[in-house]
Amino acid sequence: MNAVEPPQSANAAPPGSSEAPKAQAWGDHASATLRRVGATRRIAAACVATVLLGGCAMGPMREDPFEPMNRVSYKVHQQIDGKIVKPVAEAYVQYTPTIVRTAVSNFFGNIDDMFSFVNDVLQGKPDKAGNDLGRVITNTGFGVLGLIDIAGSANIPKGNEDFGQTFGVWGIPQGPYLFIPVFGPTTVRDGSGWLIRGYASPVNFINDAPTRDVLWALNLVDLRASALQTENVLNQAALDPYTFIRRSYLQRREYLVYDGKPPPPKEDEQ
C-alpha cells in the first residue's frame, strides 16, 4: 500500500528548534509502527478469519454466540471493577489535581493520535492523516511530550481511528462479541486490533519494567475515571446492563467503521 504523504503542519517544530529531535523521534516511531503493521496485515486478517469461522459455529446468535461465557465474564468484571478498579479511579479523581489528570489524559491521547495517523494512512484518508500527524508533531514538540494539548487549542481535529476500524474498512467481519474482565466489551476484530496497538505502543518499548507497568496502570485508571460519569446513565437506562452494553458497543463500532453512515440492515437482520 502506498503511504499517503500528509500535509506539513504549520505548527511543527522548526529545524533549528530544540524540540525538533523530539518530534522527529515520534515521526520515526510512527513510521516504524506503520511498517510493522503493514507487514502483519495479511497475518492478522488470516487469524481473524480463522477465529470467525470457528466462532460462528458455536451458537445460533450471530453477534453473541458466546453469551453464557460473556455473562460470566461480565459478572467477574463487576466484582473486580467494583472492589478494585472503580475505587482507585474515584480516589484518583478526588485526590489528584485536575491539571495533573488533564496532563495524563493528554499524554495518552497523544499516543492515540499517533496510532490514528497510522490507521488514517491504512484507510486512505489523507486529510485525517494530516490532522493527526500535525497533532502529534505539535503536541509532542511544543506540548511537553503531549502533556499539553496545544493542537486542541488550535482546533486541529482528532481522527480517532483505530485498527479495529481499519479491519472493518478492509472488509474483515467483526466476528463474535466478547466481554473481557477489566478490558470490557470488544469483538474478535476489535480485540485483534487492540493486541496490535498494545504491542506497538511506545509504552511497551520502555525497558524499565516498573516504569512501563506504572504507565499501563495509569492509562487504565485514566480510562476508568473518564467513564465514571456515564455509569449512572447505564444503571438508570438498562434493565439488563449486559444487553445494553453489547448493543451500544456494536452500534457505535459500526457507526465508526462507516464514518457515521452505516448501511441499512439486511432483511434477514431486521
Question: What does the pLDDT read at residue 224?
Answer: 95
Structural domain contains residue 195: yes
Phi-psi region of 160 (alpha: psi -120 to 50; beta: other; left: phi over 0): left
Phi-psi region of 179 (alpha: psi -120 to 50; beta: other; left: phi over 0): beta
Name which of 18-27, 92-101, 121-130, 153-162 the model is least confident about: 18-27
Structural domain contains residue 252: yes
Predicted structure pTM score: 0.74
- pLDDT tens track for 32-85: 544 554 444 444 444 444 444 444 333 336 789 999 999 999 999 999 999 999
Q: Which of the four pLDDT bands, split at 50, 70 and 90, describes residue 14?
A: very low
The CA distance from 240 to 234, in Å, is 10
- pLDDT tens track for 95-135: 999 999 999 999 999 999 999 999 999 999 999 999 999 99
Find the domain containing 182 and state its range: 20-261
The CA distance from 216 to 247, in Å, is 28
Structural domain contains residue 6: no
- pLDDT tens track for 162-181: 999 999 999 999 999 999 99
Structural domain contains residue 122: yes
Structural domain contains residue 3: no
Total domain count, the chain: 1
Structural domain contains residue 103: yes
